[in-house]
Amino acid sequence: MTRAERIKLKKGLLFTSPWIIGFLVFTLIPTVLSLYYSFCDYSLLQSPVFIGMKNYQSLFQDDVFKLSLWHTFEYALLSLPLGLVVSLALALLLNQKVPGQSYYRTIIFLPSLVPVVASAMLWLWLYNTKLGLINVVLDQAPFNYLIGGINGLLGVLHLPKIDTPIGWLTDPSWALPALAFMSVWGVGQTVVIYLAGLQDVPKELYESAELDGAKAFQRLINVTLPMISPVIFFNLIMAIIGTLQVFAVPFIMTGGGPARATYMYTQYLYDNAFQYLHMGYASAMAWIQLIIILALTGIAFWSSKRWVHYSNK
């Protein structure tokens, strides 16, 4: 390297040093330490003691670990497809040329800007069993007639009936679906990403499809979805990561209850680390969580070869 190149290198390192220091201090070093602590008995108050694979062996014998992992998967199975479908449907509607289009887009996006704590407090009121707006609305016609008809059908099938007013956050059978439904509240960012993808679809393709006699639904299936499949894939990956790391909303709204019906994996990890001071055990849980997310992401990438279509291919 010449003297001028060395000077440029030093200047470049100087300007990037805040990011480099931040990455080392807050990301790389904690990640390496957590991997080491996952093989240790570490309580934060004493020096870590290396115990090998005992933390990982204990995890698979821990019933609470299995329960929290199962609840997280249940939440993901409910909220992930629901969020993807609702956000795509909203994006398709907002992509239409209608008066006040910008206002509708703003209204859909605004909830995603509301802080998590504020959203949780709002939905706590909406889900209130006695005074919540949702139960008040369901108690009015025609919703009460609809629930009565559903209960009649459930009675014929010898299935449990829906008790009203519904204890959204107090009934173990309703609490987890209620949190999954609430997740739709914050799909504004996903809708914006879908909108960007929809606006990149060439209009010539729609015109050609119309000339061939394709109806609106056929254009959606054969033109729109294949053209925005990379955007759908991106949102799928982000949804997998987000739903498997859910923590704040159930922690604030239910604390894992009732009867641990909403006790999520990340909350159990948090409790082990900062309530029980089992930092080594919590570190092992964090690495198991990472492996699960990487595995599901890998499956998504493997399957993408069959349904994700790129315009340059």
pLDDT(80) > 70: yes
40 SS3 class: strand
**List of E strands, the chain:** 40-41, 49-50
What's the token pair of residue 55?
A: 């933390």
pLDDT(165) > 70: yes
Q: What are the tens digits of pLDDT across the range 24-61?
A: 999 999 999 999 999 999 998 889 999 999 999 999 99
* Element of type H or E holding 289: helix 279-307
pLDDT(277) > 60: yes
What pLDDT is attached to residue 59? 94
pLDDT(252) > 80: yes
pLDDT(282) > 80: yes
Q: Give the mean model confidence (pLDDT) for residues 232-259.
A: 94
138: which residues sit within 8 A by CB, 6+ positions away?
Answer: 144, 147, 164, 165, 166
What architecture is domain 55-127+172-307?
Answer: Orthogonal Bundle (1.10)
- Residue 237 confidence class, pLDDT cut points 50, 70, 90: very high
162 SS3 class: coil
| Mean pLDDT rounded to a whole number for the chain | 92
What's the token pair of residue 51?
A: 């115990």
- Ordered by start, the domain boundaries in the chain are 55-127+172-307, 130-166
Interior/surface letters 80-99, b for 16+ CB within 10 angstroms, e for the rest: bebbbeebbebbbebbeeee
Q: Structure pTM?
A: 0.91
What pLDDT is attached to residue 313? 56
The HSE-up count of residue 220 (CA atoms within 13 Å, CB side) is 9
- Residue 89 confidence class, pLDDT cut points 50, 70, 90: very high
